[in-house]
A and B are shown apart, each in its own frame.
Chain A
Amino acid sequence: MSAVEISPAAGTDQEARAEAARTRRNWLLSLPAVILLLFAASGPLVIVLIYSFLTPGDYSGVKWIPTFDAWTSILFSRDIFDDTLRLADAHLTIFWRSASLSLLTTLITFLLGFPTAYFIATRPPRQRGLWLFLITIPFWTNLLIRTFAIMEVIRNEGLLNKLLMMTGLISEPLQILYSDTAVLIGMAYVYLPLMVLPLYAALERFDFRLVEAGYDLYAGRWMVLRKVILPLVKPGIVAGSILVFMPSLGAYVTPRVLGGGKHMMIGSFIELQFGQGRNWPLGASLSMLLLLIVGIGLFFYVRAMSKEKAHD
């Protein structure tokens, strides 16, 4: 009798012990990843955060005197004579340029990427792989090299100008290089695949029979796009926009090479603080600000998506 009564309890005890062992083993297995994340990802971030509250060193580095100067100097510059704060116009220009160029890049990649993704998603399944493969080819080459290739295309004696001159559309070469337009072209080119891929993922799941249903119910092409396709691929549009907008905001290589230093964006501006500017705390606070903006953006995205899921 007693043996029968004990055995189920013993069973649960054994199960609990096995469960504990499993948990321990899983922790041990994930330990390298946890250590790596802590020290390689979070560690440097913490250092940057601390530096943003310190005083710049005389030549470089920081002095361990805590201050909010770095954060205030993002938006304001302190008058050296009367110590009053004024809006730092130069900084605002850089922020504005970064934001507007990033938004424009997002818009351009969407306008180019949507038809591309639509085209791929409507190919026969066996052909789609090939098209996606072609989209990812640029990723195989170093970003710097691709940027120089763009430079080769748009410079005064470059491919584009030569072609336009040959066709007689222009008589003088267009000065595209070292302008905002050049930066825009470069960023749109570099980030286009990041827009195409999530759009394709959304369109691939889209039930194209709904397009026929739309046509059947008196919606023309434009209305079908607006009322049926776009609302249903919205998650892909948002994901693609975030994937393009966020890195555009902090882009460094492309604006530096194609914008020629005159048209600075946040990325170059941060780099400047750690180099010639010798203002590490400002660089650190700018970096943290960028991270904050991206973080807030992602937060709203995730919340919007989970809301959408709850609706379904």
Chain B
Amino acid sequence: MEFLPARVDTNRIQPASRKTPVPVAAIETRQISKTFGSGDREVRALDHVSLEIRENEFFTLLGPSGCGKTTLLRLIAGFEAPTSGQLLLYGDDISNEPPYRRSVNTVFQSYALFPHLTVAQNIAFGLEMLGKPKAEISRTVDEMLAMVRMEAMAHRKTSEISGGQQQRVALARALAPHPKVLLLDEPLSALDLKLRKEMQRELKRLQIETGITFVFVTHDQEEALTMSDRIAVMSAGKPLQIGTPREIYDRPANRFVASFIGESNFLSATITAATGDVARVRIGGGIDMEAALPAEAPRSGKVTVAIRPEQVRLVEADAADALPATVTDTVYFGTDTHTHLLLDSGETVVARFQSTLAHSEERANGTRVGVQFWEGSVQVLRETA
């Protein structure tokens, strides 16, 4: 009876505290650097990385090989220690905790299934190491087997199942202890295209079903765009831009992001006016347009703008508000057709049309055309021209 008022009290406090929630990131890195080797052969894999990965988020580290994405993942897993900086898991500093004391599990690129154990024993491994009761282990293992649809394979050795099945077992094994964060190190790279597409959907489903924070490493931009809630595009040990797939694709902040995710035309331009995150730019010395202006970008003078090939429109050569150009090449890609254009200013532009429309847009080499860009498609880059 004595406890009752106390419980009422906490109930009264909780809704109030919910109104002003203190958002704690699942993972937070504070100025993390990692160098390998020493002296002349010192390699800086991570360079003062500060980022936050939110709870229940599908977060992707995207970048070419050697950009530091795998190193960052291994740091979160605990296989590497940061040279400097801090790593926080739900607010706790885990920079120096060994991997077996972190509620973080990994799906390895090589899967790293234990070859001396069966599928079920592999999935049970983490739970056994955590000292869970036997009944709970077998229940969880059954759940996991059902979740990745591997019930029929429970007692097979891992060498007796296909690559795609091994992938599912690796996932189930990592999810079984219900970690706070699941790390996935290019887990789909060994699968063929069809299976990869299937697993992309499967991964997304599992992430929503389990509500676990996923940190996914890949060099495949399509994979990143289709699955992620947010993407960090990394290059040379630094995240260059962090945002939703749409933000990353539609509003690339710099040249690297614009060219690594999809394709982009880069044109020189001059800012004539800037207010907030919108600039008025003159492109190719011919047309004036509104352009998105990212933070930290120059607000006047010469800049580079990025325009996606699908945002290019061709009009009559003598049309007003168009850049005069000559068609130099037309390449058929199946779903799309690419038209290469040489602007009179000397810059080149690629225009992409859906093949169903292309017959109306297709023009012979040497044809004179006018080039226009769709409203809202022009993006100012951070780098000065």
* Interface of A toward B, CB cutoff 8 Å: 207, 209-210, 212-220, 223, 227-228, 231-232, 311-312
* Partner among B78, B125, B157 whose Cβ is within 8 Å of the Cβ of A217: B125
List A contacts of B18 (CB < 8 A).
Answer: none
List B contacts of A217 (CB < 8 A).
Answer: 100, 105, 125-126, 129, 173-174, 177
List B contacts of A212 (CB < 8 A).
Answer: 77, 79, 99, 106, 108, 112
* Partner among B105, B116, B129 whose Cβ is within 8 Å of the Cβ of A219: B129
Query: CB-defined interface of B78-109 with A at 8 Å, one 1/0 digit per residue?
Result: 11000000000000000000111100111010
| A232 to B174 CA separation, bound complex (whole angstroms) | 21
B79 contacts A312, C-beta separation under 8 Å: no
| A312 to B116 CA separation, bound complex (whole angstroms) | 8
Query: CB-defined interface of B126-138 with A at 8 Å, one 1/0 digit per residue?
Result: 1001100000000
B116 contacts A216, C-beta separation under 8 Å: no
List B contacts of A228 (CB < 8 A).
Answer: 114
* Partner among A213, A232, A311, A312 whose Cβ is within 8 Å of the Cβ of B108: A213
Query: CB-defined interface of B175-207 with A at 8 Å, one 1/0 digit per residue?
Result: 001000000000000000000000000000000
Label chain A's interface by main secondary structure. Answer: helix
Chain A nearest CB, measured from B7 CB (Å): 34
Interface centre among A209, A218, A223, A231 (most CB of B within 10 A): A218
List B contacts of A214 (CB < 8 A).
Answer: 125
Nearest B residue (CB) for A234: B116
* Partner among B78, B113, B129, B159 whose Cβ is within 8 Å of the Cβ of A312: B159
Which 9 pairs, one residue from A and one from B, show the smallest C-beta to C-beta distance? A217-B126, A213-B112, A218-B129, A215-B99, A219-B129, A231-B116, A209-B112, A218-B100, A216-B106
Given contacts A212-B106, A215-B78, A217-B105, 10 further A-B contacts (CB under 8 A): A215-B98, A215-B99, A216-B104, A217-B129, A218-B100, A219-B125, A227-B129, A228-B114, A231-B116, A232-B116
- CB of B115 closer than 8 Å to a CB of A: yes
| A209 to B111 CA separation, bound complex (whole angstroms) | 9
| A231 to B117 CA separation, bound complex (whole angstroms) | 10
B77 contacts A216, C-beta separation under 8 Å: yes
Given the interface pairs A212-B79, A213-B108, A311-B157, the reply to whether A218 lies near B114 with Cβ below 8 Å is no
Nearest B residue (CB) for A312: B159
Residue pairs across A and B with Cβ atoms less than 8 A apart, 24 shown, are A207-B112, A209-B110, A212-B99, A212-B112, A213-B106, A213-B108, A213-B113, A215-B79, A216-B79, A216-B104, A217-B125, A217-B126, A217-B173, A217-B174, A218-B101, A218-B130, A218-B177, A219-B100, A219-B125, A227-B129, A228-B114, A232-B115, A311-B157, A312-B157
Nearest A residue (CB) for B173: A217
Chain B nearest CB, measured from A32 CB (Å): 42
Chain A nearest CB, measured from B33 CB (Å): 22
| A231 to B125 CA separation, bound complex (whole angstroms) | 14
B79 contacts A209, C-beta separation under 8 Å: no
List A contacts of B129 (CB < 8 A).
Answer: 217-219, 223, 227
| A223 to B126 CA separation, bound complex (whole angstroms) | 11
List B contacts of A218 (CB < 8 A).
Answer: 100-101, 126, 129-130, 177
| A216 to B159 CA separation, bound complex (whole angstroms) | 21
| A232 to B108 CA separation, bound complex (whole angstroms) | 19
Chain B nearest CB, measured from A209 CB (Å): 5
Nearest A residue (CB) for B159: A312
| A207 to B78 CA separation, bound complex (whole angstroms) | 19
| A103 to B173 CA separation, bound complex (whole angstroms) | 39
